[in-house]
Structure 1
Amino acid sequence: MNDLWLPQTVNSIEPSASWVTVFVANTFALLLFGLQHSIMARPYFKSWLTRFIDPSIERSTYVLATAVAIAGMCYLWVPFGSVIWQVESEMGVYVIRGIAVFGWLFLFLATFMLNHFELLGLRQTFDPLQGKAAPVAAFKTAGFYKIVRHPIQTGILIGVWAIPVSTASHVVFAAGISAYIFIGLYFEEQDLIKEFGDTYLDYMQRVKRVVPFIV
């Protein structure tokens, strides 16, 4: 995504494909991730899914499906278009690369400020195997969660936009991911309000969603 180490990315300059191919393939790629990530996160889908699998592996199943959807989205994406912006200064390139690294590191650290292994569904799967009770959902606002309500998404937004050379393909991809983040967070927060009630409503009043002091 940040054009490092990979032979082809969404930002690659490729021989022009037909606009029909570009539109169909890239729309499907974004929907593949967006629909999977949103639908599988909703309580009604979780209730349906746990009719067929043990509830202890529901979260890990969701995480695995998300990884497959992300891989599929990147594989199916058809690069297109010319360069929109390009930073010529070597120092500028290093600064922007540094911002991107900060974004991805921000995301990674945020996962540990709740419970990294619970987020990935590993704790829910392995605790029952060891005779421990399944973890109960608790409202936590540690670390970055005191600054923004969704630091993982903040890290993604920084990471996908902080790039020194961008084609039209990358702009559309990053815009699609950004749009999904804000649409997905709306539905996620509706679920959180139902789960935590006034506690979460108060949190929404005190802490911005993804950008400190702004939004």
Structure 2
Amino acid sequence: MVSSKITPVFSLAAFAVIHSLTASLPFKRLLVRGLGSRADWLYLPVYSLVAMLTILPLVYQLYKNPGRVLYKIPSPWRWLMVGGQLIASIIAPKAFLDAPNRFKIRSQLSVPQTPEAGSLNIRGIYRWVRDPFLLSGLVIIWLTPTMTVNLLVIYLLTTIYLYLGSLHWESRLIAQFGDEYREYQRRVNRLIPKSWKNAKDIDKFKE
């Protein structure tokens, strides 16, 4: 019983270590030194592949040992939850498309107000919420229609990890964009989407 909970936690911890290491600036500096200009276009697909492969053991363990069922949402509500998960799954790729400059290694390693850092260029989903990846991740996990003991433990730990990751990611964005990003933080929430009126205010802020 205890081992069925510890093993998924260990797998999540291993994933978090690998995920954090490969997302770190020292690792990216090492890539730039070794790959040069190829680092920018090679990093993201390889990073995504590594993340997917390292999360598979956890998914398998939860599939084999989900634990005691805590609740199961009946239809039609469960399908509304699944629909919410599907919508949230679109947010992450949309976030990549709306801010490609945020994910270029050379931009992340630069300092504010330099050509390499680029401009913040707030558009798309970032007019509504500062961290769409955090939002989509939380929606996907917490709208799971069937909740078990093991899932709940992993989801709680994942929520903490995602939130801490969001704090760390924003510290990098401040280093990259400086006061421009601090002003953006003041105007847009990290997680709760802004209203249409506030999104229009962001358009004025960009001008």
| Partner of residue 172, structure 1 | 153
| Partner of residue 71, structure 1 | 56
Distance in 1, matches of 2:73 and 2:176, equals 46
Does structure 1 residue 95 correspond to structure 2 residue 80?
A: yes
Q: How does 1:35-184 map to 2 (within 5 A)?
A: 35-57=17-39, 59-60=43-44, 61-77=46-62, 79-88=65-74, 90-115=75-100, 137-184=118-165
Q: Assess if the C-alpha contact under 8 Å between 2:9 and 2:154 holds in 1.
A: no
Distance in 2, matches of 1:63 and 1:120, equals 14
Deviations 1:154-179 (A, max 9, x none): 11111111122111122122222211
Fraction of identical pairs, as percent: 23
1:191 counterpart letter in structure 2? R
Q: Give the SS at the match of 1:40.
A: helix
1:175 counterpart letter in structure 2? L
Does structure 1 residue 19 correspond to structure 2 residue 2?
A: yes
Q: How far has the Cα of 1:93 moved from its partner?
A: 1.7
Change beyond 3 A, Cα 1:65–1:212: same
1:147 counterpart letter in structure 2? W
Per mean C-alpha deviation after superposition, the further-off stretch among 32-41 and 176-185 is 32-41
Distance in 2, matches of 1:177 and 1:56, equals 32
Gaps of 5+ in 1: 1-17, 122-134
Q: How far has the Cα of 1:22 moved from its partner?
A: 3.0
Change beyond 3 A, Cα 1:138–1:28: farther
Say what the alpha-carbon RMSD is for the aligned residues.
2.8
Q: Give the SS at the match of 2:76.
A: helix
Distance in 2, matches of 1:27 and 1:46, equals 27
TM-score normalized by structure 1? 0.72
| Partner of residue 180, structure 2 | 199
| Partner of residue 15, structure 2 | 33
Q: Assess if the C-alpha contact under 8 Å between 2:134 and 2:163 holds in 1.
A: no
| Partner of residue 9, structure 1 | none
Distance in 1, matches of 2:173 and 2:104, equals 18
TM-score normalized by structure 2? 0.74
Q: Assess if the C-alpha contact under 8 Å between 2:117 and 2:176 holds in 1.
A: no
Q: Assess if the C-alpha contact under 8 Å between 1:29 and 1:74 holds in 2.
A: no
Does structure 1 residue 209 correspond to structure 2 residue 190?
A: yes
